[in-house]
Chains A and B, each alone.
Chain A
Amino acid sequence: MLDARDIVKRFTGVLALDRVSLSLRPGEVHALVGENGAGKSTLIKVITGVYRPDDGEVRLAGRPARFTGPLDAGRAGVQAVHQEIGLVPDLSVARNLLLGREPRRAFGLLDARRMHETAARTLAAYGVRVDVRLPLRSLGVGAQQMVALARAVSVDARVVIMDEPTSSLEPREVDTLFGVIDRLRDQGIAVVYVSHRLDELYRICDGVTVLRDGRVVHQGTLADLNRIHLVSLMLGRDVAQVRAEGVTRFSGAHEASAGPPVLEAYGLSSRHLLDGVSLTVRPREVVGLGGLLGAGRTETAKAIAGVLPLDAGRVTVAGLRVRRGSATAAVRAGIALLPEDRKAEGIVPTLSVRDNIALAALPRLARGGLVSDARIDRIVDTFMKRLRIKATGPHQPVAELSGGNQQKVLLARWMATEPKVLLLDEPTRGIDVGAKAEVQALVDELAEAGLAVLLISSDLEELVEGSDRVVVLKNGAVVGELIGDELTEEGVMTTIAAEVQ
């Protein structure tokens, strides 16, 4: 049905896809898995015509397909349903479903009654029974996703690509979705299913393609691949290879103090994202958060930092309760979050190194609303030296620094607020090897200096070597905790792969 052959895609010299092939039979549900940056979304974008491949070709039903964009691909029967739903929230459900192919009457006028009937009938087949005249946004996320899916499939689809379709669904909605996928299968529609939820993959998928660093590392029948093997393929850690390899720059010199934990999170719950996550971190301790993409690691960090709205749960720092859902309160309590996406959520690229560092500490440095330049200079100087930030001087725009040094600037910003708890979300992503080792060494130093550190990393080696303890998350809940001798890469992978009842 769909055949992508030897696709190569480069972005400014970086090889995003390296001779990736993907072939789908009619009626096949094919799992496409891989961690962040493995090339899944690039592949989807090549297939749907968003990107033009530098080499290789996509064939649909035997003929070369050069789509000019998702719209063109959709007309040819290749439909992608994305995580962020591509519908118009303020339009009615019926209009969203039928936009562009509304039933007409004379003079090209829309036939509203027939439109509502068609829409209601179509959606009923997807288990969505709603008043289709209501605006789309009045529906739950799951129902909205069903509308998007129904829209995609109703345009004579031959291939449907589902990108994390269940990430915002509740269990019963997942069942409905799987019912729909079974139907698609019976009709001979090929489905590409992108997800990190192993249980779902094994329930619904026939074939599997594992991508890592832009290459296909495994292709075959999913039933022939056991869970632990799949996880090790995704994370790129060969079980045997792990023991042979060298260690990271973590020294392990710091030792968690025996005293009471400085950070206590209890029962953090947020709709379908987090389900009662509890954890503690003591001073001088580095606790790692393990799990696959979308398991709730970033959400946990954000919840602790007061950025993610919570339905339930509480966070205490040094015994004092932090007001829920307030980032300001969290910062005051001494919680610092180094976000995953430093470009979007951290660095202010137009400001200088100095101003970026001083930003969070300004309220603390100010006296009567005025800030002393000399005090800022002193603090900036201290941290530039301590974190070994390589810049021409404090006034260099931060955008000119390398990724690793930008990360250090962010770290300095939070250190200047003298936090008690440091939440690091993928601190070494996207920075080169040398800088990576330096950041890792810094994490060690900071813990030694008495901080409580929560470390999130998809780099399994980094996670295991850098942490004193690893809490493993899955589907937004804690599924295991590894400490001491259990704390190995294999142990983490086994915990992730373990089946949930």
Chain B
Amino acid sequence: MTTEQAATDAPVTHDTYALGRRDRVFGLIQRHGATAVLVLLLAVGSLSFSRFPTTENLGDIAITSSFPAMVALGMTFVIITGGIDLSVGSVFALGGVLAAYAVRWGTAAGLLVPLAVCGAIGLVQGLLIARVRLAPFIVTLAGLLGARGLLLSISHEGATTYLIPHGSLLARLGQGRLFGLGQPVYLTLALFVIGAVLLQRTGFGQAVYAIGGAEDAAALMGVRVARTKIIVYVLSGTLAGLSGALNAARLSSGVTILGTGMELDVIAAVVIGGTLLTGGAGSVSGTIAGVLLLGVIQNLINQIGDLSSSYQQVVSGAFLAVVVVVQTYLSRARRL
């Protein structure tokens, strides 16, 4: 009993409600708006500041953006399922401290310990959210506090700073350069390619979208909702840990005060990249544009020498507000 036999010559009565041009334009803005603004900003920046379009400066933007980008990649998955992960800032810092602490047992330990611990934090959060059905906001807020506490106890309230010896393999992983770009940039790009394939071309990715779009319907269609959610939080925790470890390697030490408020920057980048906070829609390419956009804004404000860098927050905030307003307007207009 396949469908093809079901009604081969049933009368054809539906043409479609074709998507109007307006609808398509709105869809384009939602998906590629961040990229367009990014290109615009790059052009304006290049014309306005001679020091902006140099290889060195652009490379600088790339390397500083690559760490939040890794975290944002995991966050994109979480937000598309309709969840949120507030713990990533703390987990990022914890990953760095753990890497610096564990590197005494070798480079492999320096990478695997933070990945395992941060992944485990994600796993516990995912279990609480998917199986116990607690609100992601609360669970990951607890995770934020918990991870920060763990980090402080390892570093004796921040009194001990663990160092990553210069010239060690781990340090070279964070500091090394290839064709003028920092090593982590390439790793980030590779992760994003894998992330895009995972999201667009696998059953897991379909499940992520379906859960965010309509969780009950997804469950009825046989999507393994709980399992998918757990994986998503493990992914987010692991990526935050990896990003933190590499950042520590770049700085040669596990700095305990890093990552405070990072979760908000990352969420902002994801949302600016066109992922809906309500879930069900978004893309990793949008996220990379969102991260770069925030990076470029910061860089440009630094170029205007006499402007305090605090203004970066004001501009980012204002930009985020505009994006959310536009998104809301667009999705409302499309649903009518």
Residues of A within 8 A of B (CB): 70-71, 74-75, 85-91, 95, 99-100, 102, 108-110, 112, 121-122, 124-131, 134, 137-140, 142-143, 146, 150-151, 153-154, 156-157, 172-173, 175-176, 179-180, 183-184, 187, 189
Pairs A–B under 8 Å by Cβ, sample size 27: A70-B220, A71-B219, A75-B222, A85-B217, A86-B217, A86-B220, A87-B217, A88-B214, A90-B212, A99-B222, A102-B203, A108-B202, A110-B202, A110-B203, A125-B7, A125-B10, A126-B7, A127-B14, A134-B16, A137-B335, A143-B14, A143-B16, A146-B14, A176-B11, A184-B6, A187-B1, A189-B1
- B17: chain A residues at CB < 8 Å are 138-140, 143
A100 touches B202 (CB 8 A): no
- Complex-state Cα separation, A112 to B197, whole angstroms: 12
B11 touches A127 (CB 8 A): yes
B10 touches A154 (CB 8 A): no
Query: A89-B213, A90-B213, A110-B202 are known contacts; what are 9 more A-B pairs with Cβ within 8 Å?
Result: A74-B220, A88-B218, A88-B221, A91-B210, A95-B209, A108-B203, A131-B16, A134-B19, A176-B13
Residues 146-201 of B at the A interface (beta carbon under 8 Å): 197, 201
- B212: chain A residues at CB < 8 Å are 90
Residue of B nearest to A154 (CB): B3
B1 touches A142 (CB 8 A): no
Q: How far is the CB of A74 from chain B (nearest CB, A)?
A: 7
Select A100's contact among B12, B216, B221, beta carbons within 8 Å.
B221
- B4: chain A residues at CB < 8 Å are 121-122, 125
A-B contact count (CB 8 A): 144
Residue of B nearest to A48 (CB): B220
Q: How many positions in chain B have a CB within 8 Å of any CB in the partner chain?
A: 41
A140 touches B14 (CB 8 A): yes
Residue of A nearest to B203 (CB): A102
Q: How far is the CB of B3 from chain A (nearest CB, A)?
A: 4
- Complex-state Cα separation, A102 to B200, whole angstroms: 12
Residue of B nearest to A124 (CB): B12
Residue of A nearest to B16 (CB): A130
- Complex-state Cα separation, A240 to B10, whole angstroms: 45
- Complex-state Cα separation, A140 to B334, whole angstroms: 13
- Complex-state Cα separation, A222 to B334, whole angstroms: 44
Any A CB within 8 A of the CB of B8: yes
Any A CB within 8 A of the CB of B84: no
- B13: chain A residues at CB < 8 Å are 127, 172-173, 175-176
A91 touches B209 (CB 8 A): yes
- Complex-state Cα separation, A121 to B214, whole angstroms: 25
Residues 208-240 of B at the A interface (beta carbon under 8 Å): 209-210, 212-214, 216-223
- Complex-state Cα separation, A229 to B318, whole angstroms: 67
Any A CB within 8 A of the CB of B280: yes
Q: How far is the CB of B170 from chain A (nearest CB, A)?
A: 31
